[in-house]
């Protein structure tokens, strides 16, 4: 199978490519613009791991907001599957920088789905987010819940992606599946996310900005469980008349941020110094996924507990930054 993964140097894209390359029948093509939203070294290291691992990985350093570059890549490669993960991620950054979200998440998304239609891709799978639920508190959140009132521009772009994909499925019969990821974490994780910021603050004896006194809940989901779900959904084309589906991908076990903080303090046997900050605009209070829909479709069962996952993350962090 020829699979295109956009955002392949990103956290989830990297782990997905690693897993796809374990199957000798797969050829994996990656696109990423290697932007500097966070430490570029991390992206370059992920990429060099992929290149070292397999000759069946081919990388294009391109920006998805430029359609002429993308056209050539699609024309030359006959992809069967597209997993579209490239995005400007992060809720907080979208407050100051909405344009970069528009360019990548709206225009870039359009370019990738349009070429997927032109080249008759068998299954277009794309990343959405738990943020589309906004302040909806009918926990656990089901896919059928209302998602019309996003709290951030990031969430607005992701919700728009779901609507655009629905229309492409309806008009052009393009099989599309959106995956609403819930707080994904693990080795090589994102430096702008809480677990990484906390671990880094404690290791470097720096202060941590703690919003809303840590009185938030997040449905922390380990990266291997997320990758398992993406790979499981690849052969499962939507079976409805309009070939479109959307699934929550979470652990369905929300954790209090303060408790995560205490867990990390125990692991390092050290207190973290805190700057207390007010609740940030755009942040939701709690996420909690109902995962019955994905569980039925692909027999999805999160395997890694928060305790195990956090230990794996810390082990990776300590090794990676030892150098």
Ligand X SMILES: NC(=O)c1ccc[n+]([C@@H]2O[C@H](COP(=O)([O-])OP(=O)(O)OC[C@H]3O[C@@H](n4cnc5c(N)ncnc54)[C@H](O)[C@@H]3O)[C@@H](O)[C@H]2O)c1
**Interface residues with ligand X (CB under 6 A)?**
7, 9-13, 31-35, 43, 63-65, 85-89, 104, 108, 127, 129, 181, 183-184, 190
Indicate the SS3 state at residue 228.
helix
Q: What is the rounded distance in angstroms from the CA atom of residue 187 to the CA atom of residue 26?
A: 24
Q: CB 303 → ligand X: shortest distance, Å?
A: 18
Pick 4 or 264: Cβ nearer ligand X = 4
Nearer residue to ligand X within complex by CB, 32 or 143: 32
CA–CA gap between residue 207 and residue 175 (Å, rounded): 47
- Nearer of residues 110 and 139 to ligand X, judged by Cβ: 110
Please say if 93 is a catalytic residue. Answer: no
- State how far the Cα of 275 lies from the Cα of 201, in Å rounded to an integer: 11
Q: How far is the CB of 10 from ligand X (least distance, A)?
A: 2
Residue nearest to ligand X (CB): 10
Cβ closest to ligand X, residue 10 vs residue 239: 10
H or E stretch including 5?
A: strand 2-6
Cα–Cα distance for residue pair 103/255, rounded to 1 Å: 33
**Shortest distance (Å) from residue 143 CB to ligand X:** 15
CB of 254 to ligand X, least distance (A): 14
Closest CA to 122 of 159, 80, 161, 160: 80
CB 9 within 8 A of CB 30: yes
Which DSSP symbol is given to 323?
Answer: -
Task: Please compute Rg for the chain using Cα positions.
Answer: 19
Looking at 93, 101, 154, 188, which residue is catalytic?
154
Which residues are part of the catalytic machinery?
154
């Amino acid at each position: 199978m020829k699979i295109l993964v956009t955002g392949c140097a990103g956290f989830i894209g990297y782990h997905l490519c690693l897993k796809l390359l374990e199957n000798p029948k797969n050829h994996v093509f990656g696109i990423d613009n290697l932007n500097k939203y966070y430490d570029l070294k991390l992206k370059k290291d992920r990429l060099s791991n992929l290149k070292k691992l397999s000759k069946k990985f081919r990388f294009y350093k391109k920006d998805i907001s430029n359609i002429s570059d993308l056209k050539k890549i699609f024309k030359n490669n006959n992809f069967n599957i597209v997993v579209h993960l490239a995005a400007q991620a992060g809720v907080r950054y979208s407050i100051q920088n909405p344009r970069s979200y528009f360019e990548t998440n709206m225009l870039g998304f359009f370019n990738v789905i349009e070429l997927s239609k032109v080249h008759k891709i068998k299954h277009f799978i794309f990343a959405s987010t738990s943020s589309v639920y906004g302040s909806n508190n009918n926990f656990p959140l089901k896919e059928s819940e209302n998602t019309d009132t996003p709290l951030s521009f990031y969430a607005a772009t992701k919700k728009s992606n779901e609507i655009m994909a629905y229309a492409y499925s309806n008009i052009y019969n393009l099989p599309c599946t959106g995956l609403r990821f819930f707080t994904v974490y693990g080795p090589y994780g994102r430096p702008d996310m809480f677990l990484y910021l906390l671990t880094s603050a404690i290791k470097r004896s720096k202060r941590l900005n703690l919003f809303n006194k840590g009185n938030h809940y997040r449905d922390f989901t380990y990266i291997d469980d997320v990758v398992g779900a993406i790979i499981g959904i690849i052969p499962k084309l939507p079976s409805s008349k309009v070939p479109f589906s959307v699934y929550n991908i979470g652990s369905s076990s929300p954790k209090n941020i303060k408790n995560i903080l205490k867990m990390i303090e125990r692991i390092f046997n050290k207190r973290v110094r805190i700057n207390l900050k007010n609740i940030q605009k755009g942040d939701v209070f709690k996420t909690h996924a109902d995962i019955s829909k994905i569980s039925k479709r692909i027999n999805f069962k999160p395997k890694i507990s928060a305790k195990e996952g956090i230990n794996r993350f810390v082990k990776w962090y300590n090794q990676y930054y030892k150098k």
